[in-house]
Amino acid sequence: MAKINILSPNVYNRIAAGEVVDRPYSVVKELVENALDAGASEVEIRIEKGGKSYISVLDNGGGIEYADLKSVFLPHATSKISAAQDLENICTLGFRGEAVASISAVSHMRYTSKCADGECYRIECNGGEIGEPMRAAGEKGTLVEVEDLFCNTPVRLKFLKSDKAEETDITTFVNRFILSHPAVCFRYFADGRQLAQSFGGGEEEALVSVYGASVLDNVYRLDAEKNGIRIRGYISNQNYFKPNRSYQSVFLNGRFIVNATVSAALTNAYASYAMKRQYPFYVLYVDMPPELVDVNVHPNKADVRFADNQVVYGALYGVVSAVLDGKSKALAYVASDASAPAAGQETSRAEEDSREPLAPSDPALGYTYEQAKREMEEAKAAFRTRQSVAAEETQEELPFEEVRGGTADKAVRTGAPQKETNGKELYNDLFFEPNTLEVNAPQAGGADVFAENKKLLAAEEALRRERAAQMKIDVAHCEYKGNLFNTFLIYEWGDNVYLIDQHAAHERLIFDRLQEKIEKREIMQQPMLVPYRRKVTPVEGVFLENCLPVLREIGFSVEEKEECVFSVSAVPTDLQSIAPDEFFDGVLRDISGLRGIKLKELLRDRLAMAACKAAVKGGMRLSEDEVVALLREMDGDAGMKCPHGRPVVVRMTRYEIEKLFKRIV
């Protein structure tokens, strides 16, 4: 028997690092959260080589006292909570005490900190070995530096992304911190370049610093309270959508979250306005009592669990759908200048707690959380009662002979005491005995135990061949019988009748020719008088940068002029009529980068539209020569579909038709 070992701190800290610190962005996230929990109003982040070689976070928070300096590197050491009951009312971003210990176990980490009424000290930890505090020079606050991340876990280094990709993930998190804490001033530098800055001027200023001023013309500002949940922030109007979900952010009590209930509520609210592959823009701040949400679900603290998902879903869906649909109650949800927090001010927790609850008697304003939950429970109980009453009434209407089960059902009708019974006794014909045949045991008479399987496989293969043969029309022996409504061509072959949609067939043939032409085209460029500029998110920027060789091969002259801003100065001559916004929306729909982009995939919708316009229309009468030419060009392909997925050919057998007329029973 293997001996049970008690792991040393440097071992279990490395194990914890696999969950808490998997990439450079997670280091930045944990350190910035600590700075914000320390009450910082200014935070400066610097990284080098995507955070692999150097990360620093400087804040002007409360600092760390000399006596606590060595404790910061210890596992499960935190200033956020002190007892188990504190987990039920978490109001800070961090609370586990795992992050710093995990980071220091896989890097060279240094803390320089000074309290308001103390001296400045510095302490280092190299791969889990803690040094002694020493005096240093510094201002009030804390400077945390991390060098050579994963220096003692080289396997982890192999799984990191490129420097640019890691930098992009960090930039994404910094932008989320800017949005989630609009009263804090952030400065962010990567390899000496300043990539982001906010001035703590409030939510609107934070939104503009991340997405640009133009976004304000396309959003509604919310400040609502429903079911005891406060919902603030910005949602896109009915005509403003993005090609992917990277423009969506939800902050619960100041923490960025990704939650299925929240996402479903917002997606369903926009369902009647968003077209396929379009996603709404929103930055929402959701505030609710911390005891009603569990943030201690996953080490990254991004996923949360609610005490009642229905109440949260109803609040978000009700507010957003009311605003989008233009209902009268939306007047209470859309923020006015008077109700919006002033620039540079962020609503404090105490101010939010002191807000008077909205009057429950006004349905436009909603209920408190407890009232909403109680209302739903009463509705559920009433629904169950109606269900049971309906079931009893239905059962009373049935004749006794039609009621299954005999004794048990009769007892229900008469109110007599019921004898305990199981489902098998009541519904014996619905049960079966398990098969006890041993697979390896030979059957009597030496029969092959796999004979039935072989027969089944042979039958399936014969059926597959039959279906494949049915998908091919014998053009030479088909007889044209006319058309229906000048739209559907009728062909007869043996005992089969084929109905061919002339528009769908012609559309598919044109579409295939256009795709083939695009693939074999010669590249010629047409310069643009005014270059097209596209501002993107950091995630989109990395994706576009990887796509530049393909875009240039297509014929676009495109380059990154500045951080996350791409400029197109020339387009292919055969695509000069294309709308740049629509084209790049199509490129950015799959920002995962798991599938290489191709020209025909980028232009598929446009080619399908061109084929649809050029194809013969339904209701247009074709000559017999045109009908024959169309079928010949189809090459007898009965499984063909139009570019939009509609079938081109429908086959009916003589047996099916005769059965419709009851000639066959």
Architecture of the CATH domain 9-197: 2-Layer Sandwich (3.30)
Domain with CATH 3.30.1540.20 in the chain: 465-665
Contact 121, 134 (CB under 8 A): yes
Distance CA 257, CA 287 (A): 12
Delimit the CATH 3.30.230.10 region(s) of the chain.
Answer: 203-370
CA distance 308 to 367: 15
With contact defined as beta carbons under 8 Å apart, do 283 and 198 qualify?
A: no
Q: Which residues of 567-594 are buried (b: 16+ CB within 10 A; e: fewer)?
A: ebebbbeebeeeebeebbbbbbbbbeee
Q: How many CB atoms lie within 10 A of CB 524?
A: 11
Cβ(18)–Cβ(159) under 8 Å?
A: no
Beta-strand (E) ranges in 105-264?
108-114, 120-126, 129-130, 134-135, 141-147, 185-190, 193-197, 219-226, 229-236, 241-242, 248-252, 255-256
**Residue 277: pLDDT over 60:** yes
Distances in whole angstroms, Cα of residue 420 to Cα of each of 377, 400, 430:
31, 20, 19
First and final C-alpha spacing in the chain: 73
- How much of the chain is in helix, strand and coil states, percent to nearest 5? 40, 20, 35
Query: What does the pLDDT read at residue 448?
Result: 58
Question: In this structure, what are the phi and psi dihedrals at residue 382, rounded to the nearest 5 degrees?
Answer: -65, -40
**Distance between CA atoms of residues 309 and 642, nearest Å:** 42
* CATH number for the domain running over 203-370: 3.30.230.10
Residue 394, both tokens: 């239905």
Q: Give backbone dihedrals phi and psi of 227, rounded to 5 degrees, phi first.
A: 55, 30
At residue 434, the 3 state secondary structure works out as coil
pLDDT at 70 over 90: no
Q: What is the pLDDT of residue 66?
A: 86
Q: What are phi and psi of 182, to 5 degrees?
A: -70, -15
465-665, which class in CATH? Answer: alpha beta
Q: Could you tell me the pLDDT band of residue 542, with boundaries at 50, 70 and 90?
A: confident
Q: Residues 570, 560: contact at Cβ < 8 Å?
A: no
Q: How many angstroms separate the CA atoms of 265 and 321, rounded?
A: 9
pLDDT tens-place string over residues 300-329: 666 788 888 899 999 999 999 999 999 888
Amino acid at 125: C
Backbone phi, psi, residue 373, to 5°: -65, -40
Which token pair is 323? 């605003």
Contact 133, 123 (CB under 8 A): yes
Give the integer Cα–Cα distance in Å for 10 and 74.
10
pTM summary value: 0.67
Query: pLDDT tens, 543-602?
Result: 888 888 888 888 899 999 888 899 999 998 877 778 888 888 888 887 765 455 666 677
Q: Phi and psi for 14 in degrees, rounded to 5? A: -65, -35
Question: Is the predicted pLDDT of residue 82 greater than 90, yes or no?
Answer: no
The fraction of the chain above a pLDDT of 90, given in percent, is 32
496 near 629, Cβ under 8 Å? no
Structure confidence by residue, pLDDT tens digits, 500-530? 999 999 999 998 888 888 778 788 888 998 9
Q: What is the pLDDT of residue 408?
A: 41
Residues of the chain with CATH 3.30.565.10: 9-197
